[in-house]
Structure 1
């Protein structure tokens, strides 16, 4: 089947591709109970060499900046307590770590989690982290713009392959908190 977004000729229900997903992502797809039917979570095969956003959109088209999302793992700290959370924003934006995220987590300081923490605690590959299949006690902060997008391309848990699902499904993820202004416009480039 043809994908609803992007130039992907071979989109398949993720339920038919569980062996191509990491264990936590496959388990999340298998257990999906949202109002969006599980068979609308699609898998498309992509080259792992171009998994990073800038290279990916250069290859598949700039329009995917508005139809794809990045999932980044952050660590919020207050005193001796560290809270890990996922932030999901459109690929053409950056996460408001020092504003929206810090306030939502009640943290004094928030930083991007080290790669070893992000991959080790999620069971996913760096460059493919997705909000499906994250640890159950993690908040999943989702920018409202992602939820308002008809179809969204996001990581599959691996650098190879992506998932495509309706934006409204992100609001139904375990631990999801939909926030206005989580994704900020990129900072202007100075020459």
Structure 2
């Protein structure tokens, strides 16, 4: 069930709280970004939720099974690096769990790169200040592009994502995520699996 315009969104059987009331459940860069974003958009205070989870359930499929969450709401965030000559460009790609980021075609072209590949885990975690399995599009380094699949911009869409740590998840309306000042909404970013 999702909340209406001014209600905190909820999903599955998790215990949701306003994220800004539970910054102890967020990585430091995520908490800072939410505070900054809330200064320009009041909806962040009432429509961004956080819930504690068992870190062993942080994997999307496991979390969805254990807590009865719809896969289409899961916003998987992968970090990709593309290179052209000596110039590297990094992007976080957010796609529904029912799809995979189109790294070799769509993302590579968006990065204007000859080749694109997933950023090594140690770099992704150290540069983002977030834990593996918890990387989220909120609070990433300023030089990284944040590409979000347009499916999250549809009415009533929810975006369930990492919180920067493996022991909690963020939830917000998809259109709120898509309106974040650092987000670029991209058609066809995720390719349906199978």
Q: Same fold (TM over 0.5)?
A: yes
Pair 1:23 & 2:28 matched: yes
What TM-score does the superposition give when structure 1 sets the normalisation length?
0.91
**Could you tell me whether the CA contact under 8 Å between 1:88 and 1:143 is conserved in 2?**
yes
- 1:152 match: 159
Greater shift in the superposed pair: 49-58 or 170-179: 170-179
Q: Which moved more, 1:107-116 or 1:174-183?
A: 174-183
How far apart, CA to CA, are the structure 2 residues paired with 1:126 and 1:140? Answer: 17
5 Å-filtered alignment, 1:136-151, equals 136-148=142-154, 149-151=156-158
Could you list the runs of 5+ residues in structure 2 that have no partner in the other structure? 1-6
In the alignment, is the contact (CA less than 8 A) between 2:102 and 2:191 conserved in 1?
yes
* Residue 89 (1) aligns with residue 77 (2): no
Secondary structure in structure 1 of the residue aligned to 2:143: coil
Q: Which runs of 4 or more aligned residues in structure 1 lie more than 6 Å from their structure 2 counterparts after TM superposition? A: none
Q: SS of the counterpart of 1:31?
A: helix
**What is the number of residues matched between the two proteins?**
185
Instruction: After superposition, give the CA deviation of every residue in 1:19-53 in whole Å (9 maximum; x if it has no partner).
Output: 22111001011111236332211011111001111
Aligned to 1:11: 16
Contact 1:137/1:175 (8 A) holds in 2: no
Does 1:121 find its partner at 2:127? Answer: yes
Deviations 1:122-143 (A, max 9, x none): 0000001000000122110000
Question: Greater CA deviation, 92-101 or 144-153?
Answer: 144-153
Q: Specify the SS of the correspondent of 1:121.
A: helix
Counterparts in 2 of 1:68-107, with a 5 A limit? 68-107=74-113
Does the 8 Å contact 2:52/2:169 carry over to 1?
A: yes
Q: Give the TM-score normalised by the residue count of structure 2.
A: 0.89
What is the alpha-carbon root mean square deviation over aligned residues?
Answer: 1.7
